[in-house]
Structure 1
C-alpha cells in the first residue's frame, strides 16, 4: 500500500498541498507583503526541497501584428529550507517582504499575483496562486493628480514589452496614456504618455512622451514618420512635490 501511495503522490494524487494566506491583498507600492504559507501533508511522508514565492505580472507583446499576453516574474523569494512533512501533518511558514517599487499597479487588464511552489523531487510540484491589488503610492498619485489638473484624462494604462532603449530590469514597462480634454493643451497635443521608473519611495524617474497634434501637410508628414513625438526624461523627488504642477506644465508647454 505504501508503494502504491508513493506512486500516486508522484503524480500529484494524495501528495502534499500548499496554501498561501495573505494578511492583506490590497497594497501600495513599497508596502510590506505579509502572510503565511501552509503546507499540509498528503497520504505519505514527503521530502520538500524548497518553498518559493514568485511575484508575477502580465504584459502584452506584439507577435505577427497581434497582441499576445505574456507573464513575467518581478521578484522571487525562497522562504524555507529542505524539510520532511508527515502524512496529514500541517506546517506554517510566515513571510514578509516589500512590494517592489517597479511592480505594475493593477489597472486595466494588468494582473499581479503571488505564485507559491513546493519543490518535491520526482513528483508533481504543488502550487498556489493569490492575486494582489496593487495601488499607486503617494508620489505616483501626486503625478496623476497634477496631470489631471492640467486638463488631461487617463485614456489607457497597459503593461507592454519594453523597447531596448527604455528597458530596465523587467521585460516590460507600464505606460499611462493621457489625452487633453480641457485647458491649454487641448487642440495642441494628441496625447501624453508617462512611464514611471521609481528609484526610491521619495524619488522617481519619469519618461514622458509628448505627441503633438498634426497641423497641415507638414504636420501630417511628421506624424506619419512619428517625428511629432518627443521623449523627455526627468527625475522628481519629494522636495519637488509642491512645484510639480508648474514644472510639468512648463515642460510639456516647451514641446507642445
Structure 2
C-alpha cells in the first residue's frame, strides 16, 4: 500500500477524471449542467475538491504585436471532501450558472471560431492533481440573436469573431475581456465604412450593444473610428422592429460622425469622448492588467501565442444563415480547443493533463 501511495504521488495509478457536459448549448447567464465522472486509482485517495474553471482563448495587443493567452474567467467548486476507493466509480453532478457576459461561440449551430472550455481540476490529497478539458458551446440570447438577424437582413456580412483582452470604459463590463464580431458593411454603407464591430455586454436586465465603425477616409481627411452604445432589454425581443432599430443605430452613428468630421472634431462616439478610457480592469491568468488604446482595443502583458482559429461567417439573404469558411467544421473546432489548452497546460505544469 505504501508503494502504491508513492506511485500515486508521482501521478502513476492515481484517480482519473472525465467531465461530461449535457449536450445542449448554453446561453449567457443560463445554466450549464453535467457530471464529473471519477475512476479510482490503484489505491484509496482523498478527493479534497472538484473544481470547474471556465477558460477562454483571448487576444491581447502589446507593443510587440498581438498575442494569444488563456484567461480563466469563472471558477466553481462542485464537490470534494470524500474518499475515492481503489477502482471505485463515482459521479459528481453539477449545475452552474454562466456569467452574463460569456461569449457566444456559435450561431444557428455553426461555430464562430471562439475558443471556450470547461477545465475540471481534481484536487487529490497526497497525489498529483488531475484535470480534464471540454469544449464549451454557447448560443446567443434571444435579444442578441435578434440584433444579429437584423444586421444580416440589412445586408451586413460577418468577417470574423474574437475575444479582446481589456475593458470597455463607460460600461458595466465585468469580465476582463470582451467579444467583438466584425462585419463587412451593407452595400448602402460601403462607401462610408470599412467594417463594423459589434460587442454585446449582457446583464440580467438586458444588454449594451457597443458599435464601432471603421470609417473610410475621404479625399481631404483620413479615416476615423465612430463609436456608439445602445441599451436594450430582454423583454423587447418580441415588440421591436429590429431591422428599423438597428438601421437607425448605424445611420445615427455614421451621420453623427460625418457631422463632427465636417467641423474638424472627432469624438469617441455617440456616448461622449473618452468613453473607452480607463475602467475597472481585470487580470488574466498570468496576472497581467489590460490597457486600452485610443480606440478601446484591449492591451495586456505578453501572452504566449497559440494556434489561430479565426473563421469567417457569411450572412445569407434570409438573415444570418451561417457558413464556416476554410473547411473548419464544429468537430474540428472542438479538437482544436483540446489541442490548444493541452498545450497551455503542458507549458504551465509539465503536462499533467488527463483527458
Size of the alignment, in residue pairs?
A: 246
The counterpart of 2:180, out of the listed 171, 175, 178, is 175
Match of 1:215 in 2: 218
Deviation at 1:207, TM superposition (A): 1.1
The residue correspondences of 1:4-153 to structure 2 (distance < 5 A) are 4-24=3-23, 26-106=25-105, 107-153=111-157
Instruction: Please give the root-mean-square deviation of Cα atoms over the aligned residues, in Å.
Output: 2.0
Asked whether the equivalents of residues 24 and 34 of structure 1 are also in contact (C-alpha less than 8 Å), the reply is no
Is the aligned partner of 1:192 residue 2:189? no
Deviation at 1:170, TM superposition (A): 1.6
Match of 2:236 in 1: 239
Asked whether the equivalents of residues 151 and 185 of structure 1 are also in contact (C-alpha less than 8 Å), the reply is no
Q: Which runs of 5+ in 1 are unaligned?
A: none
SS at match of 2:240: helix
Q: 1:63 to 1:123 in 2, by over 3 A?
A: farther
Deviation at 1:103, TM superposition (A): 1.3
- Structure with bigger strand share is 1
Q: 1:245 to 1:181 in 2, by over 3 A?
A: closer
Higher RCO (CA 8 Å, separation ≥ 6 residues): 2
Match of 1:253 in 2: 251
Asked whether the equivalents of residues 24 and 33 of structure 1 are also in contact (C-alpha less than 8 Å), the reply is no
Deviation at 1:128, TM superposition (A): 0.9
Asked whether the equivalents of residues 147 and 245 of structure 1 are also in contact (C-alpha less than 8 Å), the reply is yes
Match of 2:347 in 1: none
Return the alpha-carbon distance in structure 2 between the equivalents of residues 254 and 35 of structure 1.
45
Deviation at 1:100, TM superposition (A): 2.7
Return the alpha-carbon distance in structure 1 between the equivalents of residues 115 and 24 of structure 2.
13
Deviation at 1:25, TM superposition (A): 5.2
Asked whether the equivalents of residues 204 and 236 of structure 1 are also in contact (C-alpha less than 8 Å), the reply is yes
TM-score, normalising length: structure 2: 0.65
Larger Rg: 1
